Structure formats: C-alpha cells, structure tokens
Structure 1
Amino acid sequence: MATAEQMAAYAAALRQYKPAQDKPVTEVAIFKLKEAQSAATLEYFERQIIQNTAPGTGIIRQSYGFSLSDPYTLIWMLDWEKIQDHWDFWQTPAFAPVIVCIDKIFVSGRPLVRHYEFQPSGMLRHSVQKVFVWNDELEAPKAESLVGTKSNASDRKVAYAVDMQETSWRCAVFGYENKETAHKDEFVEWEGLEAHLVELAFVEKPTQTMKAGFDMAKHGKLYLHSFKRT
C-alpha cells in the first residue's frame, strides 16, 4: 500500500506536466476484483470509497457499478473540477480508507485509471452505458470503426486522456435508455480493448446538509443509502 510520502512525491512529479492541469476532467477507473461481484463487495466499496470521496474538494459527481460483461470488473467514474484536485485528495485523511479498500478487494496493479477531457465536460448521465478504453498508439485503425459506428445510444462521448505519458489512451462512452436498447448495439472488439456494459449509480456533490450526514455516517449514525442519488 502506497504511503502518504510516496503519493506526495508522485503528485509533485505529475505537477511538472502542465497540459493536464486547470481544466475539467473525467476520471474513468476500471478495476479487476479479486473475487466475483457480490452485494457485500459493493456495500464495502460504497462505505469505504464513495462515502469518503463524495465530500472531497473538486469532486463534482461520481458514478459506479459492476460490469455486466465481466463478473470480475467494477467501473468507477469521477468528474473533477481539475486534475490537481485529485492529487490534493491523496494528502487528505479521507484517502486512507480508500486505498485500504482498493488493496483489499481489487487485483494489485491492475486498475486502468485515466483522466479524459470530454467535450462538453463531464460524464454521461445515463445509468446504462457501454464503456470502451484502449490505447490509440497501438490500436487506432481498429478503433475508428468503433468511434464512427452508428448506434442506438441516446448520447456518446469520446476523448483522449490528459495524463502525463498517457495521452494516446482513449475512452468512448455510449449512454442508453435501458439495457434492452444497449444489447441491440454490437461493436467490433479486439484484444487489448476494455469493453463493458455497465449499470451505474450516481452520487452528486453533497450539499452542506449532506456533508453533515457523511460526518455522522463515519460515526455509525447514518448509512450511505440515506443520501440523495440521481
């Protein structure tokens, strides 16, 4: 597990890369679970991670859910006001339970985490989405058929990552009214492509009243499902 000192040193190195900074980004994290999806795992993720990150500075909203394509995958997205807010979060007390959870339930070294500059900024607001992530440096010719394909999606976004030394990574998200509509779309896939159908829950940035609720929840007086979701 990374120490606070190690994360501070990593953040200092990242701050040298200016093109990623001072603009809204959407973090897309694809985690591989050590054990297959379960209600207990999701509840632990919500308690340890969502409850601690939701009040964080610079976090506008989050979404998360198990992949319906792979029983060992969980997808988590965060809209950040700017990428520096993510780096700053590593130095807050709330980061400790987050990293404990990541170490406990996810495969070590496997998370695929990038920050994407969607236009307009922000994640799609559909609960049912198809999420694709790939490295254009290796797979650009194959990706063009995916990016340009006609689809039954209500909305879509495609963007490159802004992260230092990771700007060839690309993400495409397609939003659907329901799972039945999503299943009608068939995309050409290839080895090396992360491709998932996912049903997401959304958590908005808490109001002051909700922040008080999160503080009480940490002392066992409230539970996550008491908070507003969209």
Structure 2
Amino acid sequence: MPTTEIVSFVLAEGADMNPAFAILARQPGCIGHSGGRILDDPKTLCWFIHWRSLEDHERFMGNAIEYPALHSALEGKMVSPPKILHVDLEPFGAMRAPVLDVHFVNEDYTSRDANSSSGKLVEDGSLTVVVVGAEDLTTPMSNLDGEVQRYRVPITGQWWPGTP
C-alpha cells in the first residue's frame, strides 16, 4: 500500500529545492512527490512524498549515502524544523490534483469518491488524514466533522514517474 510522507517546514527565501527533488527521484520505491506553499501560511512548504510502501521509505532512511545526501541538500533551506507525518492514503487519486485540501480529523473517515483520499496517521492512529483534490482555488474547501486542523496547498511542483 502506498505511504505518503507529509513534510512541512518554513522555507528559506529563494531556496532551491531541485537538488533534494533529484535525490528523491532516483530512490527505489519513491513513486512521486508534489508540493506547494500552504495558502494561509505562504512561508511554509508542504511536501508530499509518495512511497510504494512504508518499508521502501524506511530502506531509504537506512541508506548510508542517499539519506545523508538529502539532508545535505536541505541544509540552509529550512528555517524551521520539519514536521513529518506518514499516512497510507486510499484511494490514491486525489494526490494528483492541482490543489490539495488537507484535513486532520478525530473521527474515522472513508473516502467517498475519486477526488478524496484518506487514512490513519501512522504516528497517531487516533487521527485520520483526509486529502480532497480540487481543480482550482475557487472550489470551496470542505468542512469535515471532528476536524482539528486543515489547510489548502496549491501544488506548484510535482514529479510522477510511477503509478501506485
């Protein structure tokens, strides 16, 4: 099952993320990544890194050459420490939308259509992440029962070589 790593941090002014993107692009098991700045907090980058499985991500983290290279590529680009979360999203289709609405809810939620994906947080099984894909910023953002946090991310960069 695909695992999505959601990484958010305050991005340094003028930071070039392409070296970090290139490192991820060559990793076995990385099936794509996308990201953009959070609409209500434009200094914060929200980066969605998609792995074929959590095990593939863990193998990358254990790689003595590539994982430190990613950290070096990110050096000086993060103004704040990254917040890193993992979720197994089903179905996966919403992740390719041009705008992603990310919701954290205290209730079980099952995605109801091709424009939404949901799954339990690996780090905190009491929270469900719901990602709703939107075609543009004019689409109203959904309100979900039990919502504890939400944000909107217009996707400004993405790489999709594989299919989950």
Measured against the shorter chain, the TM-score band is 0.7 to 0.9
Question: Is 1:25 matched with 2:3?
Answer: yes
> Aligned pair count?
159
The alignment partner of 2:96 has SS state of coil
Any conservation in 1 of the 2:94–2:133 contact (CA below 8 Å)? no
Give the equivalent residue in structure 2 for 1:193. Answer: 149
Distance in 1 between residues matched to 2:143 and 2:94, nearest whole Å: 21
* Cα distance, 1:123 vs structure 2: 5.4
Distance in 1 between residues matched to 2:146 and 2:2, nearest whole Å: 30
Give the equivalent residue in structure 2 for 1:94. Answer: 66
Q: Which has the larger radius of gyration?
A: 1
| Unaligned stretches of 5+ residues in structure 2 | none
Kindly report which structure 2 residues correspond to 1:1-230, keeping only aligned pairs within 5 A, or say none.
23-33=1-11, 35=12, 38=13, 40-41=14-15, 44-46=16-18, 48-90=19-61, 91-109=63-81, 111-121=82-92, 124-133=95-104, 140=106, 155-163=115-123, 166-181=124-139, 184-185=140-141, 187=143, 193-205=149-161
TM-score with structure 1 setting the length: 0.58
Any conservation in 2 of the 1:154–1:174 contact (CA below 8 Å)? no
| CA pair 103-122 structure 1, distance change in 2 beyond 3 A | farther
Distance in 2 between residues matched to 1:159 and 1:177, nearest whole Å: 22
Distance in 1 between residues matched to 2:4 and 2:36, nearest whole Å: 16
Question: What one-letter code is carried by the residue in structure 2 that aligns with 1:82?
Answer: S
* Cα distance, 1:130 vs structure 2: 1.4
| CA pair 158-55 structure 1, distance change in 2 beyond 3 A | same
Deviation by residue 1:118-173 (Cα, 9 ceiling, x = unmatched):
1224652111121234xx5xxx2xx68xx69xxxx97112211234xx32232111
| Unaligned stretches of 5+ residues in structure 1 | 1-22, 207-230
| CA pair 107-51 structure 1, distance change in 2 beyond 3 A | same
Any conservation in 2 of the 1:29–1:113 contact (CA below 8 Å)? yes
* Cα distance, 1:54 vs structure 2: 0.6
Deviation by residue 1:159-199 (Cα, 9 ceiling, x = unmatched):
11234xx3223211111111222xx3364799962523322
Any conservation in 1 of the 2:103–2:147 contact (CA below 8 Å)? no
* Cα distance, 1:94 vs structure 2: 2.6
Distance in 1 between residues matched to 2:52 and 2:59, nearest whole Å: 12
TM-score with structure 2 setting the length: 0.78
* Cα distance, 1:75 vs structure 2: 1.0
Question: What one-letter code is carried by the residue in structure 2 that aligns with 1:172?
Answer: V
The alignment partner of 2:138 has SS state of helix
| CA pair 194-99 structure 1, distance change in 2 beyond 3 A | farther
* Cα distance, 1:70 vs structure 2: 0.8
Deviation by residue 1:6-36 (Cα, 9 ceiling, x = unmatched):
xxxxxxxxxxxxxxxxx32122222233x4x
Identity of aligned residues (%): 23
Distance in 1 between residues matched to 2:147 and 2:10, nearest whole Å: 17
Distance in 1 between residues matched to 2:84 and 2:60, nearest whole Å: 16
